[in-house]
Amino acid sequence: MPKDEKAKITLFCINCNKDVTHTVHYIGNYLKSVQCEVCGKKIEIDRRHLKTVFAEDFINRILTKPHRMNEDMKKAVATLMPFFPKRLIREPLKVLKEIYEVLKKENHG
């Protein structure tokens, strides 16, 4: 059974609008609640609800990642386009081969 612990710490209370003592309640290594000692305002932590919210957000981020990366690349290329050598646009394969040759020489020589 996880160990039940309480500790007193000073935190800023939104209700009191100042730093005051709070009781922090842990179950094992997990935060269960935080309660202001002055006004009594208590915040409960529902781990099951947090897991559900974070899992949904994580899945959504994974599913939209390719689209977001594609949009970021389009923005980056559009921003850098004026600085690209015109040859890179007209002869991309030739330029890439030249870059490859230079890199190959640097790695072997």
Q: Is residue 84 scored above 70 in pLDDT?
A: no
pLDDT digits (tens, 9 = 90+) for 4-61: 889 999 999 999 999 999 999 988 878 889 999 999 999 888 877 767 767 777 777 7
CB 28 within 8 A of CB 2: yes
Give the phi and the psi of residue 35 in degrees, each rounded to 5: -135, 130
Give the pLDDT score at 108.
67
What pLDDT, in 10s, does the model give residues 47-83? 777 677 677 777 777 777 777 777 777 777 777 667 6
The better pLDDT of the pair 39, 108 is held by: 39
Cα–Cα distance between 93 and 100 in angstroms, integer? 10
CB atoms within 10 A of CB 45: 14
Q: How many CB atoms within 10 Å of residue 42?
A: 12
